[in-house]
Structure 1
Amino acid sequence: MFVSTLDTTIEFLKGVGPKRAELFQKELGIFTYADLLNFYPFRYIDRTRFYKINELDPELPYVQILGRITSKEQIGEKHKKRLVARLTDDTGSIELVWFQSLKWVDENVVKGKVYIVFGKPTVFNGSFSISHPELENYPRPATITGNLMLQPVYHSTEKLKKFFLDSKGIQKLQTSLIEQHLKEITETVPPYILEKYQMVGRKEALLNIHFPKDVKALKAAERRLKFEELFFIQLQLLHNKQLREMRFKGHLFDVVGEKVNTFYKEILPFELTGAQKRVIKEIRLDTQRGIQMNRLVQGDVGSGKTAVALMSMLLANDNGYQACMMAPTEILARQHYQSIVDLLKDRLVKVAILTGSSTKKQRTQLHKELEAGEIDILVGTHALIEDKVVFKNLGLVVIDEQHRFGVEQRAKLWRKNVVPPHILVMTATPIPRTLAMTLYGDLDVSVIDELPVGRKPIETRHLYEGQRLRMFGFMKEEIKKGRQVYIVYPLIKESEKLDLLHLEAGIEQLSYQFPLPDYQISIVHGKMTNADKQYEMQRFIDHKTQIMVATTVIEVGVNVPNASVMVIENAERFGLSQLHQLRGRVGRGAEQSFCILMSGNKLSADGKLRLETMVKTNNGFEISEIDLQLRGPGDISGTQQSGVLELKLADLAKDQLILQEARSTVIETLSEDPNLENPQNSLLRTYLAKRSRGIAFDKIS
């Protein structure tokens, strides 16, 4: 098998060696020549502009000057020596100063010679000088890596800089690597695709991403490499989806029977929205195809995902199968269980719940009934994946907030039946379209984009610390009307590092404003036991307390229609998606609800934009797009932790068109050539075989 020189360990590149190689691996994840080649600059310094000495300004970040060295001397005593040279052009002169490597500078900087000088101008004693400037011979020698009109700047770390691997040091290694090995760079994208989108070849793209000939060449290189990145993510996702559909036959839900019809016509207490009906229809069609369904249902807070999930589970029951629903926390699992029980009114099917706090006696009984097929719908936490939990005939698995579960946890549920059950994934975190295409690109996506009739939009206000008494007054007015209030804090205890209002201090402050016995307060935070949390939540649900003081543990899973006010302390410290999730805890009844965002007086530009966005819109998808631009994809839906998105160059917030092109090209290619047997697709076939780590390429029959 041919092994490229680019797979060589980085240690053997001239100028690296064992110590630097170890640092590269630990600090930047660079192990081979290819890894270094794919370590792109994050910005470029424009070297096209030359300044005259009389144009210099200390405000300029850096300048480039063409001039002649007219004098050179070492000044000072032993340990305080410096080398000072004078550079002159036709408008004046400037001092160049070195404090280190004086011997080398003295030998290599020649008096009378013309140089291109680059550095930061500073004023000392009324005169301009540049300390430790970069010097290049004039004219610049022609090299394969260009004339550096746009100088690359690379990310580095303090540890790397100690070994002279700052941006300049990394640039030198890239120069050496490209000049020696450019000819070994092979193409990865088929020529017909490059031609279709008029993209440059890989060799040219890599040369111009590191050492761009000009701005036009840089843009062409960026477009090509971004397309490649997104194209291969889509190829893998959609090829896996294609394989799964061919390999895993699915249960046929071809009957819409008594359970679905009775629930829909007699029990359901409200009219389904057009969006809910559309999504249920998509699920019905999926489950009639004879292949395993894998569908993601996105729906904003309060859009009615639970009703859609319940009708899907009743469809499974109508066809003789059991269904289960897995939630990431006990609070959320109990919330779903209660919602389902309330909707069914003890009719049609038997529903049970299994969580970490279920007693041994409850578990023994449940296991027995489940295996006998007496339980139709089982709701629970990750306790559902335990080996002891055996279904008689599991036909549908609903997973809520999938990103909170590991891949192996989800897979254990799928293996609970000989024929894999249909999979319905739900999320209340609106995901930007580009992120959904990349993160869930192998799933079919449904969107519930309507709120139930009669829901009033939540009114959001932003108040500063100085307006706190006004906020307390508003809370009292709402409580007098019989309503309830949430107050959410970012921390439990005071932190030395973060000057935030914390929950304990908040309770103390509230006790003055809302004294007993007129006002009762529930307290919920992550460090409490499940039993204590449940007890406090229940007091609030039963209207025994008017105020719930909590940390973000209540972000999901609390449904109290009577609660009309959500106060978020230090709101500027929360991400947009989290603020939107918290706001969704209110507005669940018919009354007007409010969200009050409390913040300090000093706000960063991002903090201000987040709060302004919350006040301006209730649309979760609009919010998610702004969140993506502010935070990047890594922090949304836990993708950074899961390693799903390892984008080096592409930006999902900005490169939507390129992503769409890449995805549509993959769809077209796989529909015309499912096994990639056509010679023109041999590069794609090789890529997939490589990604499967030596496993034979799976053929779709």
Structure 2
Amino acid sequence: MGVTSRTQALELELERLLGPPTAKILSRELGITTAGGLLNHFPRRYVERGALSDLESLPHDELVTVVARVVRASTRKMHHRKGFLTEVEVADEGEGSQGTLAVSFFNSRKAMNELLPGARVMLAGRVGVYRHQQTLSHPDFEVLPEDHALDEADLGPVPIYPATGSLPSWRIRKAVDTLLRLDLLDGVADPLPAEVLRAERLMGLDEAYGVIHAPLDLIEAEGARRRFRFQEAFQLQTALAIRRAERMARPSSPRPPRAGGLLEAFDARLPFTLTDGQIGVGAEISTELGQPHPMNRLLQGEVGSGKTVVALRAMLQVVDAGGQVAFLAPTEVLADQHFRSLSRLLGPLGEAGQLGAPETACSIAQLTGSMPSTAKKKVLLDIASGAVDIVVGTHALLSDMVQFAELGLLVVDEQHRFGVGQRDALRTRSGTAPHVLVMTATPIPRTLAMTVFGDLEVSTLDELPEGRLPLATHVAALHEHPGWEDRLWWRSREEIDAGRQVFVVCPRIGDESDAGPGGDASTASVTETMARLGEHPALAGIRIEALHGALGPEEKDAVMSGFASGAIPLVVATTVVEVGVDVPNATLMVVLDADRFGVAQLHQLRGRVGRGVHQGTCLLVTRLPQDHPARQRLDVVATTSIGTLLAEFDVAQRKEGDILGSSQSGTASTLRLLRVVRDAPLIEQARQAARRIVDADPLLRNHPVLAGIVAGLDDERKDYLERG
């Protein structure tokens, strides 16, 4: 069969193959309408027959799978949190067995609706102990039909599918079995090239589909899953390899370093010594800037690791070589912070045109949407004439009104906050492609960068500047220690009395709009916290100001300026302070309802304190009980200071799944099995294999099936692939 036959086989409608009733429920519950969609709805795990645990002999702190009967079930509101807790007791089905197990679920309507007394259920989770009773907290579960046997000796492991309350796993399995018996894929062309299958020792397509849905044993099942994980990684890496090759083929003006120029003058006046990491990454960037094809590099680093200095040195090299630099920031607050930071680092070297400026000085300007029209027009004229060497701005830089004399470098900060079209508006504006440096303070595991940012080279700064003390992070668990809440504010007063400053961070501002319909009015807000702290005796006489996204630019600027100067000792803020805020005298951060933030976000927030010579402390405040799943995130943040390790945990917890979208198409790759942290070696193998294929056959003329898949990526997926 050719490409067309393969496409037709996978896109056959389920209504024709399985009948209207089955097709209707698959479409309604899972959005699956085609043969390819159902075949690619892989089991999430398998239960090996005979491996079911007896409730009387469950091993503590190990993963178990049990089949039991629901004895009791109840749901109640939680005392200290918005939401509800479903508590279930299950008992062994075996004759004479006395084993029972307590099972709890937080805010699970599925558990509340399905785990009713008398129900027969399969549960899978980690065994814990609470009040001398063995427990499972928020386990996976599946309600089984009464006639669903689990002990047939002649069958392999039981596949457990992602399911819904109206469409249990066993019904999905039955539909898949029916589809497999039709032999739809007999002779269908494999999307993996034959040489790749041989080199990686992978199953063929037809065999892999049969095995993954009906394995003889767990070893065979893992072989099929590896094949599909590799396929997902390979198809993505092929698309990235093609885009990388296309970009490398575009011409760009070389910007090599110049002796006796601005960069040398800047290095000579630096009041500190660059870290080994800054020197090494700077050398990589410098070399790439001197090439006749565009640099496309991602620069990530721990909070406070000195990314701005590395980026500025790259900017100065480009200016020395006659090019202009555009520094794109996602918000006006961040653009203003960057403009001030660059101006402070440059000093007189950034004052070209002013009396007394050094001969080598450059000109730096700012362009934001809120600037007065007269000032904006002057900056636009200076950019177009080449009078401005470095311009720092927001989305205003993307306007068609902005014309560069010679754009040599585009620096994008926190790039994930910009759409692909927005970034390309600058990158494609000049005749030759500018070099691109993408910066992020959000830790990205190497494997995630390799998968999503696969066409960028990645540099990581993981050293802190000399003299910086490590940050102390603690969980303030008010559920177990309610008296600690008062202590938070006396602790804040101690820092202020010592001449230092405090951040208090809240999940929301406090007006009605951010509490509903998706919000939660029970979480801490800036408005409510401001009122409460204004009346607390610990903070009597202390100036407290609010900082959040609803304030106007002038109000934000006034608060930030006051905080930076030390005039404001305590700021109550939202996550507007997550990046770009640099106040070395701030040493304490109190994050209220910290469980409402992600791991990476908490790491970024705490990076705002301890940036000077004094010890920094971050207190993660939560009212959740110790066995709540969200508490694990806080414990990990409190015990781990390495951002990339936290990011790996975050990615693994969120189960990143289909990085490129949720299409059920049988012809385009969706990441159903690939996990970028777990599968790092496999992704590297896939990347090498994809680059070999693309280097030998850039247009994939000899691989029409693969070419069809890559070409079939929809616009949303192409946006993901063009993250650079």
Q: TM-score, normalized by length of structure 1?
A: 0.80
Q: 2:67, 2:521 → 1: CA distance?
A: 33
1:195 aligns with 2:214: no
The answer to whether the Cα contact below 8 Å between 1:492 and 1:502 also exists between their aligned partners in 2 is yes
Give 2:676's aligned residue.
652
Offset at 1:671? 4.2
Post-superposition CA distance 1:179-217 (Å, at most 9, x none): 111415432212332222222111111111111122121
Q: 1:497, 1:391 → 2: CA distance?
A: 46
Q: 2:654, 2:53 → 1: CA distance?
A: 37
Unmatched tracts of structure 2, length 5 or more: 58-64, 70-93, 97-118, 123-142, 350-360, 719-724
For residues 529 and 640 of structure 1, do their structure 2 counterparts lie closer, same or farther at Cα, with a shift above 3 Å needed? farther
Query: Which residue identity is paired with 1:152?
Result: P
The answer to whether the Cα contact below 8 Å between 1:13 and 1:177 also exists between their aligned partners in 2 is no
Offset at 1:2? 3.0
Q: 2:569, 2:52 → 1: CA distance?
A: 69
Query: Which residue identity is paired with 1:352?
Result: A
Give 2:346's aligned residue.
344
Query: Which residue identity is paired with 2:159?
Result: P
Q: 1:240, 1:675 → 2: CA distance?
A: 11
The answer to whether the Cα contact below 8 Å between 1:254 and 1:288 also exists between their aligned partners in 2 is yes
Post-superposition CA distance 1:298-349 (Å, at most 9, x none): 1111111111111111111111111010011111111100000001113211
Task: Tell me the SS of whatever aligns to 1:134.
Answer: coil
Offset at 1:270? 1.6
Equivalent positions of 1:185-224 (< 5 A) are 185-224=188-227
Offset at 1:676? 4.7
Give 2:585's aligned residue.
562
Give 1:305's aligned residue.
307
1:474 alignment partner, one of 466, 474, 491: 491
Task: Tell me the SS of whatever aligns to 1:487.
Answer: strand
Sequence identity percentage: 36
Offset at 1:685? 4.4
For residues 268 and 150 of structure 1, do their structure 2 counterparts lie closer, same or farther at Cα, with a shift above 3 Å needed? same
Equivalent positions of 1:52-451 (< 5 A) are 60-61=66-67, 133-134=146-147, 148-158=155-165, 161=166, 165-180=167-182, 181-246=184-249, 248-347=250-349, 348-451=361-464
1:547 alignment partner, one of 559, 570, 577: 570
For residues 337 and 154 of structure 1, do their structure 2 counterparts lie closer, same or farther at Cα, with a shift above 3 Å needed? same
Q: 2:234, 2:156 → 1: CA distance?
A: 30
Query: Which residue identity is paired with 2:367?
Result: L
The answer to whether the Cα contact below 8 Å between 1:435 and 1:633 also exists between their aligned partners in 2 is no
Task: Tell me the SS of whatever aligns to 2:17.
Answer: coil
1:615 aligns with 2:618: no
Offset at 1:592? 1.6
Q: 2:663, 2:573 → 1: CA distance?
A: 28
Task: Tell me the SS of whatever aligns to 1:358.
Answer: coil
Query: Which residue identity is paired with 1:578?
Result: Q
Give 1:75's aligned residue.
none
Give 1:69's aligned residue.
none
Give 1:127's aligned residue.
none
For residues 464 and 451 of structure 1, do their structure 2 counterparts lie closer, same or farther at Cα, with a shift above 3 Å needed? same
For residues 567 and 452 of structure 1, do their structure 2 counterparts lie closer, same or farther at Cα, with a shift above 3 Å needed? same
Post-superposition CA distance 1:367-421 (Å, at most 9, x none): 1111111110000111110010111111100000111111111111112211111
Query: Which residue identity is paired with 2:215?
Result: P
Q: 1:445, 1:641 → 2: CA distance?
A: 27
Q: 2:159, 2:289 → 1: CA distance?
A: 53
Task: Tell me the SS of whatever aligns to 2:318.
Answer: helix
The answer to whether the Cα contact below 8 Å between 2:593 and 2:620 also exists between their aligned partners in 1 is yes
Task: Tell me the SS of whatever aligns to 1:61.
Answer: strand
Give 1:580's aligned residue.
603
For residues 509 and 10 of structure 1, do their structure 2 counterparts lie closer, same or farther at Cα, with a shift above 3 Å needed? same
1:535 aligns with 2:558: yes
The answer to whether the Cα contact below 8 Å between 1:317 and 1:323 also exists between their aligned partners in 2 is yes
Report how many aligned residue pairs link the two structures. 613
The answer to whether the Cα contact below 8 Å between 2:257 and 2:286 also exists between their aligned partners in 1 is no
Q: 2:415, 2:663 → 1: CA distance?
A: 12
Offset at 1:22? 6.7
Query: Which residue identity is paired with 2:685?
Result: E
Post-superposition CA distance 1:192-245 (Å, at most 9, x none): 322222221111111111111221211111111111111111111112101221
The answer to whether the Cα contact below 8 Å between 2:660 and 2:671 also exists between their aligned partners in 1 is no
Task: Tell me the SS of whatever aligns to 2:234.
Answer: helix
Q: 1:295, 1:375 → 2: CA distance?
A: 24
Q: 2:366, 2:498 → 1: CA distance?
A: 35
For residues 24 and 454 of structure 1, do their structure 2 counterparts lie closer, same or farther at Cα, with a shift above 3 Å needed? same
Post-superposition CA distance 1:37-95 (Å, at most 9, x none): 1111223344457999xx9xxx95269xxxxxxxxxxxxxxxxxxxxxxxxx9x99xxx
Q: More deviation in 262-271 or 513-522?
A: 513-522
Q: 1:607, 1:278 → 2: CA distance?
A: 38
For residues 131 and 376 of structure 1, do their structure 2 counterparts lie closer, same or farther at Cα, with a shift above 3 Å needed? closer
Give 1:112's aligned residue.
none
For residues 472 and 235 of structure 1, do their structure 2 counterparts lie closer, same or farther at Cα, with a shift above 3 Å needed? same
The answer to whether the Cα contact below 8 Å between 1:259 and 1:317 also exists between their aligned partners in 2 is no
Post-superposition CA distance 1:111-133 (Å, at most 9, x none): xxxxxxx9669xxxxxxxx9952
Equivalent positions of 1:655-666 (< 5 A) are 655-666=679-690
Give 2:87's aligned residue.
none
Task: Tell me the SS of whatever aligns to 2:67.
Answer: coil
Q: 1:139, 1:328 → 2: CA distance?
A: 59
RMSD of aligned residue pairs (Cα, Å): 3.4
The answer to whether the Cα contact below 8 Å between 2:50 and 2:151 also exists between their aligned partners in 1 is no
Task: Tell me the SS of whatever aligns to 1:346.
Answer: helix
For residues 166 and 601 of structure 1, do their structure 2 counterparts lie closer, same or farther at Cα, with a shift above 3 Å needed? closer
Q: 1:518, 1:373 → 2: CA distance?
A: 51
Query: Which residue identity is paired with 2:473?
Result: T
Query: Which residue identity is paired with 2:489?
Result: F
For residues 334 and 443 of structure 1, do their structure 2 counterparts lie closer, same or farther at Cα, with a shift above 3 Å needed? same
Between the two structures, name the one with larger relative contact order (CA 8 Å, sep ≥ 6): 2
The answer to whether the Cα contact below 8 Å between 1:430 and 1:624 also exists between their aligned partners in 2 is yes
Q: 1:533, 1:16 → 2: CA distance?
A: 61
Task: Tell me the SS of whatever aligns to 1:633.
Answer: coil
For residues 237 and 300 of structure 1, do their structure 2 counterparts lie closer, same or farther at Cα, with a shift above 3 Å needed? same
Q: 1:305, 1:317 → 2: CA distance?
A: 19
For residues 138 and 486 of structure 1, do their structure 2 counterparts lie closer, same or farther at Cα, with a shift above 3 Å needed? closer
Query: Which residue identity is paired with 2:524?
Result: L
Unmatched tracts of structure 1, length 5 or more: 64-88, 93-117, 122-129, 141-146, 696-701
Larger Rg: 1
Q: More deviation in 24-33 or 364-373?
A: 24-33
Q: 2:151, 2:539 → 1: CA distance?
A: 82
Q: 2:273, 2:306 → 1: CA distance?
A: 11
